[in-house]
Amino acid sequence: MLRAKFFFTLVMIVVGIAPAVAARTPSPENAETYIIWPPDGAVIHGGKFWVRMGLRNMGVCPKGINLPNVGHHHVLIDTDLPSMDEQIASDKNHLHFGAGETEARIELPPGKHTLQLLLGDHDHIPHDPPVYSKKISITVQ
Amino acid sequence: MNLARSMSTCAKVFQRRCASLPYRFVLSASARLAGKLLHKYLALAILFFSGVAFAGSTPAPANAFLYIGWPNNDQVISAGKPFRVWFGLRNMGVAPKDVKFPNTGHHHLLIDTELPPLDQEIPSDKNHLHFGAGETETMVELSPGKHTLQLLMGDDRHIPHNPPVYSKKISITVK
């Protein structure tokens, strides 16, 4: 009996490891992130502007803190969504707001740009299901 | 001259006596009492003169800016259905309650009320809504009439920061 239990535990551990690698932080089903400002199609003069990050049915929490139903914002600039089971890159196309910021002052060169929000968990990995906004286009003049 | 000599003798005697155990005890006890009193008054004085009594102990960035993104001041809102309130925060971050992270706090929405004492836990009732899960917007339904809305940040223990971070108080009409 004891041996059976041990074997069962062993199997569970082995079986458990595989999904654990891919297991991502769950997000509430109705969670929604969106860009409050600028609106899609906005024309911005001067190049510097505030991006206001909206989040519904979920909370904001700084990086490194593992709590249910929270995450932190990432602003994706001029890029597509990254891989959803890896840490979100940190570069000039992927801005991290790991201190719980909900607004960011951004400066972009003149021209057309895209903006999109993607929420990351305490470890900068998107949730399951991932919480991301519509991708918007803006023009900087 | 004589007085000075007698005083120095006195001091010597006192020193000698203090060196013996019971006196030393009395002296240290009274010194401790004096220290305690001094500490108390000093703390009171600091509280009184530095304004510490009017804010919590968690520091906030000097340029932190809190505002209500929507509704606008003097907004007229249709009655009978909830409306969304946007919490705007600049130069500071949001963290759920009990999370101690530099330059963060969580939102509190004050409805039809003045700012509470800024060195105490923000009350939790129908006039003081807490957003301890890190929410950055909410839905509110208010009775027809005039109402005021104001945001106030609280730290991990629901106490306002130093300096306190609060928004302009806006007025709305529900009808």
The pairing of beta strand A94-96 with beta strand A70-77: antiparallel
Report ipTM for this prediction: 0.83
Distance of CA B89 to the CA centre of its chain: 19
Decide which of B25 and A60 is more confident.
A60
The number of CA neighbours under 13 Å toward the Cβ of A14 is 6
Question: Higher model confidence: residue B3 or residue A26?
Answer: A26
Contact assignment for A100 to B102 by CB distance below 8 Å: no
| Chain B residues touching residue A102 (CB < 8 angstroms) | 87-89, 93-94, 136
What are the pLDDT digits (tens) for A8-62?
A: 555 444 444 444 455 899 999 999 999 999 999 999 998 899 999 999 999 999 9
Question: What span, in angstroms and rounded, lies between the C-alpha atoms of A60 and B115?
Answer: 24
Phi and psi at residue A123, to the nearest 5°: -105, 15
Using CB atoms, which residue from A36, A67, A100 is nearest to B93? A100
- pLDDT tens digits, residue range A93-134? 999 999 999 999 999 999 999 999 999 999 999 999 999 999
- pLDDT, residue A3, reads 61
Neighbours of A47 (CB within 10 A): 13
Domain spans, chain B = 2-50, 65-174
Task: For the domain covering B65-174, report its CATH number.
Answer: 2.60.40.10
Q: Which of A116-120, A136-140, B20-24, B138-142 has the lowest mean pLDDT?
A: B20-24
Interface A-B, measured as beta-carbon pairs within 8 A, has a size of 71
Pick from A31, A52, A34: nearest CA to A134: A34
* pLDDT confidence tier of residue B59, bands split at 50, 70 and 90: very high
Name chain B contacts of A119, Cβ cutoff 8 Å. none
Name the pLDDT band for A77 (thresholds 50, 70, 90): very high
Judged by CB atoms within 8 Å, which residues 75-104 of A form the interface with B? Answer: 97, 99-103
Concatenate the DSSP letters of all residues of A78-95 into one string: SS----TTSPPP-BTTEE
What pTM, to 2 d.p., does this model score? Answer: 0.77
Q: What is the mean pLDDT of chain B?
A: 83
CATH superfamily assigned to domain A2-140: Immunoglobulins (2.60.40.10)
